Amino acid sequence: MEYEDIYGLSPRPKYDCLLFDLDDTLYPLSSGLAKACGNNIKDYMVEKLGIGKEKIVELSNYLYKNYGTTMAGLRAVGYDFDYDDYHSYVHGGLPYENLKPDPQLRSLLLTLPIRKIIFTNADRVHAIKALSKLGLEDCFEGIICFETLNPTHKNTVSDDEDDVEFLGSVSTTTGVANNPEIFDIIGHFADPKPGATLPRTPIVCKPQDSAIELALKIAKINPQRTLFFDDSVRNIQAGKRVGLHTVLVGTSQRPKGADYALESIHNIKQALPELWETDVKSDVSYAGQVAVETSVTA
């Protein structure tokens, strides 16, 4: 610091990159999209996978709790389905009209002279549509989404980082509920068997540590110089494990693993004014639509 002061040099900013989750982070939970998405997922399980309605709520809870997303859990326990069809179904009827242009957030983002990237478990179509509705489509360098981390429909398994031991691999089934290859996760927890473990999922997604590490590699991000914004405590804690600085959005209560907690993303400048304290004062924007990262380049 003394060297910098003597020669009139400014200290290097603490962060090189801001990594933002999308849903319920850049817009509030009160928009209703999360609730509608949850209902659509349950309908998909009944209509497309033939799962009994009486099991849906309990099954969904177990899958989400143990795999990060219901989709990842469905694939883990043995249901096979087309990823694009799934996303089209669960996002197709969302109330996107509830998302309005957010000029305040747009101004905050455009005046941040730091690299900004979206990191979402959602698919590309949903991410671009939501950003467009919010008027934020040119505020980010790129999008790391479902297709980025899952470029093909593969049956290999991914590592889970939630301290759970796994057994076996995912089978390629037709998705019929009474298929003997379907793992009974409800029964697994209702009547635990000694040594019984959960199957892995072939889907790479938050909050897997490996998913976050892959996203960082794809976008060439240094975690120690990156601030990660997400509404999920699990995702934030996973981010902290891989070295990211973390911001939990949606509450002022700061849990373990979060360096900061914001009631709303709009509070970012109040909580982190240092992000704007730089010699670079010009607006940073990206021409046209944001790019979607699709391959490992590092």
With 50 as the cut, is the pLDDT of residue 176 above it?
no
Residue from 36, 40, 235, 9 nearest 119 by CA: 235
pLDDT value for 7: 45
Q: pLDDT: is 113 or 174 the higher one?
A: 113
Of 96-110, 153-167, 274-288, which range is least confident? 153-167
In a domain, 295, yes or no: no
- Gap between the Cα atoms of 34 and 193, Å rounded: 35
How many structural domains does the chain have?
Answer: 1
pLDDT value for 152: 74
pLDDT value for 128: 97
Gyration radius of the chain's alpha carbons:
20
Q: What is the pLDDT of residues 223-256, one digit of tens each?
A: 999 999 999 999 999 999 999 999 999 999 999 9
Q: What percent of the chain has pLDDT over 70?
A: 80
Q: pLDDT: is 181 or 288 the higher one?
A: 181
Phi, psi of 22 (to 5 degrees): -105, -70
pLDDT tier for residue 209 given thresholds of 50, 70 and 90? very high
Q: What is the pLDDT of residues 51-104, one digit of tens each?
A: 999 999 999 999 999 999 999 999 999 999 999 999 999 999 999 999 999 999
Give the pLDDT mean for 170-199: 74
pLDDT value for 204: 97
Domain with 226 in it: what CATH number?
3.40.50.1000
With 90 as the cut, is the pLDDT of residue 278 above it?
no
In a domain, 168, yes or no: no
User: Which residues in the chain belong to E strands, given as ranges?
Assistant: 17-20, 115-119, 142-144, 226-230, 245-249, 260-262, 291-292
In a domain, 265, yes or no: yes
In a domain, 158, yes or no: no
pLDDT value for 181: 87
In a domain, 57, yes or no: yes
The CA–CA distances, whole Å, from 83 to 66, 98, 122, 154, 168 equal 20, 26, 11, 11, 22
Q: pLDDT: is 178 or 264 the higher one?
A: 264
With 90 as the cut, is the pLDDT of residue 180 above it?
no
Could you tell me how far CA 253 lies from the centroid of its own chain? 20
Give the pLDDT mean for 106-120: 97
Give the pLDDT mean for 263-291: 74
Q: What is the mean pLDDT of the chain?
A: 86
With 70 as the cut, is the pLDDT of residue 21 above it?
yes
In a domain, 159, yes or no: no
Give the pLDDT mean for 111-130: 97
With 50 as the cut, is the pLDDT of residue 3 above it?
no
Q: Which domain holds residue 187?
A: 17-152+182-276
In a domain, 294, yes or no: no
Other CB atoms closer than 10 Å to residue 228's CB: what's the count? 29
Residue 48 CB-density burial (10 A; 0-12 exposed, 13-18 middle, 19+ buried): middle
Q: What is the 3-state secondary structure (H, E, C) of the chain?
A: CHHHHHCCCCCCCCCCEEEECCCCCCCCHHHCHHHHHHHHHHHHHHHCCCCCHHHHHHHHHHHHHHHCCHHHHHHHHCCCCCHHHHHHHHHHCCCHHHCCCCHHHHHHHHCCCCEEEEECCCCHHHHHHHHHHHCCCCCCCEEECHHHHCCCCCCCCCCCCCCCCECCCCCCCCCCCCCCCCCCHHHHHHCCCCCCCECCCCCCCCCCHHHHHHHHHHCCCCHHHEEEEECCHHHHHHHHHCCCEEEEECCCCCCCCCCEEECCHHHHHHHCHHHHCCCCCCCCCCCCCCEECCCCCC
Bridging pattern class, strands 115-119 and 142-144: parallel
pLDDT tier for residue 197 given thresholds of 50, 70 and 90? very high
Q: pLDDT: is 39 or 5 the higher one?
A: 39
pLDDT tier for residue 198 given thresholds of 50, 70 and 90? very high
Structure tokens at 104: 């305040």
With 60 as the cut, is the pLDDT of residue 5 above it?
no
pLDDT value for 279: 52
- Gap between the Cα atoms of 25 and 20, Å rounded: 8
In a domain, 257, yes or no: yes
